[in-house]
Amino acid sequence: MYHISVLTGRQDEDDFGERLRDMARVEYCSSMNEDIMADRMKDTDVIICKSEKLTSSLIDRLDDLKLIVILSTRSENVDLEAASKKGILVVNNTSYCVDDIADHTCAMILALIRQLPEYQSDIRSNSRWEYGTISWPIHRVSDNLIGLVGFGHVGRAVAFRLQAFGCKIQAYDPFVSEKVMMEHRVRPVDFDKLLQTSDVVSLHMPLDETTKYIFQDEQFEQMKKGAIFVNCCRGGLVDEASLYHAVDDGHIRSAALDVLSMEHPSPMLLKMIARPEFLLTPNVSFHSVEADQQVHNDAEHYIRLFLSGQYQDLPVVPVREGTGKF
């Protein structure tokens, strides 16, 4: 019988023990000291994780490990090179929560274009029921040029949804060909042009050493006066202090954030909460009952495919060798 280690630490919610008991011994092993983890997982065949770190030093000590299943679209928590060197397959779920994040992103974009947070704040704070109390004019949704920084699965889903509203879409992504973008009726542009011409800038990119704090004072200064900024992607991409100052001085009209660099009470968060120009949600864009069900169903499916030798149908994460940098 195979040995599967689950690192998510949510045995009350993750029912893999019940799902896979016909073919494997399932053990829940919450993240802890690497020595303890290596000892508990010394004969494990499959690891199920989400954001838990699997470092090269840990992977090197797991001689029986054959498969790592990540309950996420991301994979930066796993040392892919170390896994590849040992012949360990790493799979993630590239379709998990794509619809949810895209829906949330578009909801935020539409809310900011129509100035819903500002008018609701005005009604609540000033008891006014009147158009024109907000300094910026409202433009028709279809008249907005949407700029997507990153054009992977979520970026494409956002483009598809906003095209239904008549929006024109442009995108920058050094890892996606111009042909692919044009097939999706999206205009490929360089990063500078996207910033300078987009009415709305929305982020859909990975967080790594080349993209950390890629949006700072310089990038916000390049954006059109009165533009809207949206980040439902990764908090570490944005210097929120720079964003706040860009909104405070009137250059950026409004911003919507589902993620922050530090997601706990801070002076900067409190300042943004106090401003109606900021629409904030607490990292909920990827959540839905359906998404949670899907990621567990798919993980079970991937494990059964692997253990039955059907490797060709697995969404294996490649060791990334990009063609450019963000």
Instruction: State how far the Cα of 322 lies from the Cα of 145, in Å rounded to an integer.
Output: 28
pLDDT of residue 326: 66
pTM of the predicted protein model:
0.89
pLDDT at position 322, please?
A: 43
DSSP lists the bridge partners of residue 148 as 171, 202
2-96+289-313 maps to which CATH number? 3.40.50.720
Residue 295 vs residues 14, 54, 124, 326: alpha-carbon distances, Å: 11, 20, 40, 29
The Cα-based distances of 197 to 62, 84, 192, 223, 318 in angstroms read 51, 42, 9, 7, 34
Q: Give the pLDDT score at 73.
A: 87
| Domain span(s) for CATH 3.40.50.720 in the chain | 2-96+289-313, 98-280
Q: Look at residue 148 in the predicted model and tell me its pLDDT.
A: 98
- What are 36's two structure tokens? 């303890």
Total Cβ atoms within 10 A of residue 161: 18
pLDDT of residue 12: 57
Type of residue numbered 4: I
For the chain, residues with pLDDT lower than 70 are 9-13, 31, 320-326
Distance CA 124, CA 118 (A): 10
List beta partners, residue 147: 170, 201
- pLDDT the model gives residue 262: 85
What's residue 276's pLDDT?
Answer: 96
170-173: which pairs have CB atoms within 8 A and are 24 or more residues apart? 170/145, 170/146, 170/194, 170/197, 170/198, 171/147, 172/147, 172/148, 173/148, 173/149, 173/205
145 within 8 A of 170, measured Cβ to Cβ: yes
Alpha-carbon torsion (179, 322, 221, 102), positive or negative: positive
Confidence (pLDDT) at 14: 72
Q: How far is CA 326 from the centre of its chain?
A: 16
Chain segment 273-318, per-residue pLDDT in tens: 999 999 999 999 999 999 999 999 999 999 999 999 999 989 999 8
Name the phi and psi angles at 128, rounded to 5.
Answer: -105, 145
Domain 98-280 has CATH 3.40.50.720: yes
* Predicted local confidence at residue 10, as pLDDT: 62
